[in-house]
Amino acid sequence: MPHLTTPEAPAALSASLQTGAQLHALLERLFPICRSITGDGVRQTLAVVQEYLPDLQVHEVPSGTPVLDWTVPAEWNIRDAWVKNAAGERVIDFQQHSLHVLGYSTPVRGWFSRQELEQHLFSLPEQPTLIPYRTSYYQPGWGFCLSHEARLALSDEYYEVCIDSTLDEHGSLTYGELVLPATVAREEAAGEVLLSCHCCHPSLANDNLSGLVVAVALAGYLARQPRRYAYRFVFGPGTIGSITWLARNPEAVARIRHGLVLTLLGGPGDFTYKQSRRGTAATDQAVALALRDRAAAHHIRPWLPYGYDERQYCSPGFNLPVGCLSRTPFGEFAEYHTSADNPSFVRPGQLQQALELVQQICRVFEHNRTYRNLRPYGEPQLGRRGLYKGVGGGSEGQQWQMALLWVLSLSDGEHSLPAVAEQSGLPFELLHRAAQSLAATDLLEPV
């Protein structure tokens, strides 16, 4: 299948993504598109996303635009590429797999000796059957990626080479943005949550389509919920996309209270959360609580100034509370940045679990309140307010009773509800329900 066209939507695919199977079907549909940090592949991808999120705004930023310490690059597009042997057979073929071309390759056409061609070939001797993913975004050059087995089979003295690509200095960088406004009154709104994912890798399923499809499904879910926060989704190319967004949106940056970069969520392995640069931000606390309450096998890692776009959002000048949620991190699984990162590597069940986790994280964001006990002198009488069991001495309802007591004990105007969850060890959503019940009486009020 050519990599420059968008496959038609399957008739059975619903516009609402709720199950792992539906997420995986969208991933399979997007997989063949040849994406890069600019170009028509990004536009085709965002056009599919708009089928699910019609309010997604697509932005075009002209090449040459200064963005922070960077400049928006020339727009790259590719129509075809191949290496032919003396018999005219395509021994490397972009139409067979988009990873075969070095990303951002400059156009080339001509005959090259085997020795000359070797200087432009990339393979993995330690993984001889796989095609690597390689790019040359900011340094002009050209090349082909192929399996090491195929490389060793190149025995002709000369090869004909064609890369039919363009680098347009008058092009643009494309990114998508969706804002779901808060549904409460303006004075009750709590700021914004930033959800960011990449849309720049060609024919790689876990990196980064898994994060993209989870983000699309999460946006659809949040659109149907009451929201104390506004939620801003950014679908952009890695590094230059987040830098461009940050440069263009200083007012939105000032409103961000929580943030997550979503990536690598569909492969095997435990959940891994990389903390924000702050390390103790409310975002970091919320993710840790959601992982704990779901009893999901997971690892929490400290901040590291390398990785995905969290390093742009958390750079010292912005210092946003943005962490990175993934499964096995980049570079730590054998399929990373190779042709083995295909749709069969991504499991529908893993996507479903990831969606449910980020939904729960967002519920923690929404319900993260600080309360004040209005009867702080002695333990208030819960029974006459209908909050305590009628007969003493038994253990029935004990967790609910403990939730009520923990909320009352720590609601001093300083402890947030996540802090109560951390100290008590009780599920956050149970404590939220307890706080709601207490606030419905004369015992508790939100600060």
Would residue 268 count as lying in a domain? yes
* Final residue belonging to a domain, choices 168, 189, 218: 168
Would residue 157 count as lying in a domain? yes
The tens digit of pLDDT for each residue in 162-187 reads: 999 999 999 999 999 999 999 999 88
Do residues 66 and 214 share a domain?
Answer: yes
The tens digit of pLDDT for each residue in 359-397 reads: 999 999 999 999 999 999 999 999 899 897 643 433 347
Do residues 344 and 383 share a domain?
Answer: no
pLDDT of 389 reads 61
First to last CA, the chain: 58
What is the pTM for the complete model shown? 0.94
- Annotate 113-125 with b (16+ C-beta within 10 A) or e (fewer): eeeebeebbbbbe
Do residues 162 and 290 share a domain?
Answer: no
pLDDT of 14 reads 36
Do residues 261 and 317 share a domain?
Answer: yes
Q: What is the DSSP string of 382-415?
A: -GGGT-S-SSTT--TTHHHHHHHHHHHHHTEEEE
User: Is 258 annotated as contributing to ligand binding?
Assistant: no
pLDDT of 392 reads 40
Mean pLDDT of 258-270: 97
pLDDT of 170 reads 98
Would residue 6 count as lying in a domain? no
* CA atoms of 263 and 308, how far apart (whole Å): 8
pLDDT of 296 reads 87
pLDDT of 8 reads 46
Do residues 107 and 200 share a domain?
Answer: no
The number of domains in the chain is: 3
Residue 317: Cβ within 10 Å count: 7
- Provide, rounded to the nearest whole percent, the portion of the chain with pLDDT above 90: 91
30 pLDDT band, cuts 50/70/90, is: very high
Do residues 220 and 160 share a domain?
Answer: no
5 pLDDT band, cuts 50/70/90, is: very low
Do residues 55 and 199 share a domain?
Answer: yes
* Final residue belonging to a domain, choices 168, 189, 219: 168
User: Is 337 annotated as contributing to ligand binding?
Assistant: yes
Give every CB contact of residue 318 below 8 A, 6+ residues apart in sequence: 246, 253, 312
Say which CATH number the domain at 437 has. 1.10.10.10
Residue ranges making up the domain that contains 419 = 370-446
Sign of CA dihedral 13, 16, 17, 23: positive
Do residues 87 and 48 share a domain?
Answer: no
310 pLDDT band, cuts 50/70/90, is: very high
Do residues 145 and 285 share a domain?
Answer: no
Would residue 264 count as lying in a domain? yes
The tens digit of pLDDT for each residue in 43-68 reads: 999 999 999 999 999 999 999 999 99
Would residue 128 count as lying in a domain? yes
Do residues 287 and 419 share a domain?
Answer: no
User: Is 100 annotated as contributing to ligand binding?
Assistant: no
* Final residue belonging to a domain, choices 146, 168, 190: 168
> Could you tell me the two tokens for 78?
């590719």
Give every CB contact of residue 98 below 8 A, 6+ residues apart in sequence: 3, 32, 34, 202, 203
